[in-house]
Amino acid sequence: MNDPQEVGARFGAMILGGELSEGPPDPDSPLGRLRAWSDEHGSDRLTPDHVRAAIEGRPLPPPA
């Protein structure tokens, strides 16, 4: 880890309680659920309500 930008990004993620990953997100995480939904229905159909539901752990609404 000699790249200052990577060090800064990892530190920022750590401070915010997150982590950087190069692999796919955990399927049970909010991002993993949103990616699975968008793979099935299309990312252009995602709305702020979908993101809010994923963050809150609720089922994602059907496509509009």
User: Residues 3-53: pLDDT tens digits?
Assistant: 899 899 889 989 998 877 888 999 999 999 999 999 999 999 999 999 999
pTM of the model as a whole? 0.70
Whole-angstrom CA distances from 12 to 2, 17, 58 are 16, 9, 28
Question: How would residue 1 be classed by pLDDT, with cut points 50, 70 and 90?
Answer: low
The pLDDT of residue 19 is 79
The pLDDT of residue 17 is 86
